[in-house]
Amino acid sequence: QLQLQESGPGLVKPSETLSLTCTVSGGSINLSTYFWGWIRQPPGKVLEWIGSVFYTGSTHYKPSLKSRVTISVATSENQFSLRLSSVTAADTAVYYCARVTGTGGGFFDYWGQGMLVTVSS
Amino acid sequence: SYVLTQPPSVSVAPGKTAGITCGGNNIGGKSVHWYQQKPGQAPVLVISYDRDRPSGIPERFSGSNSGHTATLTISRVEAGDEADYYCQVWDSSGDHDVVFGGGTKLTVL
């Protein structure tokens, strides 16, 4: 059974960089069938896609976040990571990692449990 | 950017049928995916590609998509179906973007 687990600091100061890692177990990230994505959800609000990465390192980012986002993949460790720079309180959210299946952006069929990241001084 | 519009809430009695809509410009030309999210939990995929049910999702869940509206239908609603439901598409026009709807809270009366 594929499992994904987010990890990283739960508290980030304003203007700093948020960094999270997703560890994939029960399956290889090094497959040509899937992308791997990050989605976030501010408390009480809706889901927002951040971006996705292929095992080759090819990425897609949400246009409105593109200038601040970097998603990378470490196939040898079966992990992929998110970096979001210049954070503000508006970036406070539960961050999910997920597997992306299908063509044309696809859908998210396996999700991590989510990790709350709070931006505060 | 592409916008998906969902009703904020839908209420239904147990055993009845619930329909949750997702409106978008010519959404019938896109593939729509649906997620169920219960409080404090990660979303769960319940419908992909308009009408495909993943393994483990009850047959009571079905989907359709045409024109400007996609619909998630839940038949014989149970108390355990109470959750938030989100639709999602891939917008390939202009800047490629994954778009989620605003979510619909399903209340089982």
Q: For B27-57, how does the pLDDT look when each residue is reduced to its tens digit (9 = 90+)?
A: 999 999 999 999 999 999 999 999 999 999 9
- What are B79's strand-pairing partners? none
Distance from CA of B11 to the nearest CA of A (A): 19
- Candidates B35, B44, B98: best to mutate against A (most CBs of A within 10 A) is B98
Partner residue facing B88 (CB), from A62, A63, A107: A107
- According to DSSP, the residues that pair with A61 across neighbouring strands are A51
pLDDT higher than threshold 70 for residue A104: no
Alpha-carbon gap, residue B77 to B6, rounded angstroms = 19
Contact B68, B26 (CB under 8 A): yes
A2-25 per-position pLDDT tens digit: 999 999 999 999 999 999 999 999
Q: Which residues in chain A are contacts of B31 at CB distance < 8 A?
A: 102, 104
Q: A15 is written with which tokens? A: 């203007």
Residues 6+ apart with CB under 8 A from B27: B4, B65, B67, B68, B69, B70, B89
CA distance A51 to A81: 11
Checking if the pLDDT of B74 tops 80, the result is yes
Task: Provide the pLDDT for residue B49.
Answer: 95
Q: Model confidence at A103, in pLDDT bands (50, 70, 90)?
A: confident
C-beta of residue A82 within 8 angstroms of C-beta of residue A59: no
| Residues B4, B29, B31: CA angle, nearest 5 degrees | 65
Q: Provide the terminal-to-terminal Cα distance of chain B, rounded to the nearest Å.
A: 36
For residue B63, is pLDDT > 90? yes
CA-nearest residue of chain B to A113? B42
DSSP state of B5: B
Residues A29-76 have pLDDT tens digits of: 988 889 999 999 999 999 999 999 999 999 999 999 999 999 999 999
Q: Are B84 and B106 in contact (CB under 8 A)?
A: yes
B33·A96 Cβ contact <8 A: no
Range with the poorest average pLDDT among A40-44, A104-108, B74-78, B81-85: A104-108
CA nearest A43 in B: which residue?
B40
Contact (CB<8Å) B42/A112: yes
Q: Residue B69: which of B103, B24, B34 has the closest Cα?
A: B24
